[in-house]
Structure 1
Amino acid sequence: MLTEIKEDKLNSQINDDRINTSKEQIIERLSKAQNITITGHRNPDCDCICSGLALSLIIKKLFNKEAFVVNTDKMQRDLHNVLFVDRVIFEVNENNIPKKDVLVILDSGDIDRIGWLSDITDEYNEVIFIDHHKVRNIKGVTMFYDDTSAGATCEIIFDIFQDYADKMDSSIATLLYSGICTDTGSFIFSNTTERTLLYGSKLMKIGVIQENLGNVVRKRYTKNDVDALMEIYKRMVIDYDRKIGYICLEDTICGTSIKELGVSASDTLIQMEDVLIGFIIHEGEDNFRVSIRSRCSKDIRDVAESFGGGGHPKASGFSVSKKDYTKERLAEDINNKLIDLLAS
């Protein structure tokens, strides 16, 4: 009953016409802002960082204003080749956070996924939330724009500002294209639409820097990556009858932090011939972070939402406290819910 009440409250927030916002209103508000801070979810991926950097460059081009991109988490190794990634303030804290006025939250799906910044949204004059996920919690948000038909948040950023495409340069085009490309699996995932391809074409016409794109999208493995891959394969648990697989990992593999590795356990697992749905349990100090991937028609987002998370139909995740679960019980509960999902 309490879960239903909480869900109704979240839905009422999202359906509140007072905060639902048009593209034109977003542009107008940014044009009037004194100071703009852009952030995204913890454990940031390419779409998260590229959409933030591209938006900051667009704001500079259109309004001649500085917009600062920050994140409460560390930089993943996959992001090292992203254009202008050195401009992002990673592991931002109260000592280096830019002056508070307008906060733009991108690609987060849930206000809680931006880390400690979610606790100080009331210190901003405006909190703009832009996303392509099925959004759950937007507490503290004052302007909300969500487009779940978009393949990536970078696609939404281009959609919002497409009337100003003539002001965009190759740097903006490269960032937006990189985010779209990685979030759609180089335009082969089911979230790829006619509009996704059209916008990709328009960005290519503006001038995508091909060399940089290749460095961002292509996987290149170090010896540590290869060692980690071998360990990932060893730890796989696969139910060959039901086509469900999972892996339990710590924050380090073979002595190397996961954030410093260029391999993805989720991607590796779901590429197995005998796995239709796979999940990874990352064991942290106080919690378990779970990512679920699918290559079947079932919507795994329902399973993630049952644990308080969310995401996409084929890529979702959530976190739970170690106070509530042991690793073994969590794996069993997820597995049982996936079995029920496949049987439905």
Structure 2
Amino acid sequence: MRALVLSGGAGTRLRPITHTSAKQLVPVANKPVLFYGLEAIADAGIREVGIVVGVDQAAEEVKEAVGDGSRFGLDVTFIPQDAPRGLAHAVLISRDYLGDEDFVMYLGDNFIVGGITPLVDEFRATRPDAQILLQHVPNPSAFGVVELDENGRVVGLEEKPKQPKSDLALVGVYMFTPVIHQAVRKIEPSWRGELEITHAIQWLVDQGYDVRSTVISGYWKDTGNVEDMLEVNRSVLERLEPKIDGSVDDTSEIIGRVVVEEGAEIVGSRIVGPVIIGANTRVVDSYIGPFTSVQHDCQIIDSEIEFSIVLHNSSIQGVRRIEASLIGHQVQVTPAPKVPKAHRLVLGDHSRIQISS
């Protein structure tokens, strides 16, 4: 059995971060969200993994970060996709790599607590033509939605419907036998101009193939926007095991589950966990509150921050107070001049900012 991991896409909901970085490499508790998926695949006993990437700088970043996959116990092959043309298109272009083997398709920006091992084991044991995972969501219009009959059988799928027929959303993990290759060749592009995996699965249903579903009750998030990314970060940090490998001076206070990685320095500061401070990061005369992850080589001086993610090589100095924020790498955050009373902004395309007047 192989795995197909999708790591392309423009990541428009995470702009401006994704103007310069792959969305799958945005860290959760200081580890790229993509890595959690690769670890889950390895834990399920799968060794051969194809990763679908774009043909841009973000793709090169993914290749560099993942390498040959040996760090995860995997044998990784990268499959280029010239443009985001839909999940079914990713299957279509991966035909030669997948051959006639069963496979798991895993969306690289999805996060599932507890991994996928039991689900893969069930698929291997029963081997339906397709196995899909579902979860009840409050906003089904934002997802692929599945309709079940009174016996729990899949009868209909629709991509981001305006009037959903259920609240069951497709989780970003699918399991297929080779029959899916026939399905993706039979469908036409949707109104979005993409080959939708929902249409391919619907084709299997219409043709009488065995399509089964499992409603999961565990934690799942599509980390495609800032709010969900922060929520996943919170969830992972809640299971953090405290560990102090860096230096903490006598005037600092460490409360709760806090990780201070090697080379990090905490001076005259108060850290209230769960918090992770990356290697070689310096925190001076500051407060870092719960559910915050700060990557390596950052500086936080005379500032306050909580429920946030700070990427590597960033600096926050003299700022009170930051919360619910995603701060990119090599960012400088400083106070605005007191006079004149005006806001000076340098923002990336499609940014969103809230200012108290």
User: What TM-score do the two structures reach when normalised by structure 1?
Assistant: 0.29
Which structure: greater strand fraction? 2
Higher Cα Rg, which structure: 2
User: What TM-score do the two structures reach when normalised by structure 2?
Assistant: 0.28
Which structure: greater helix fraction? 1
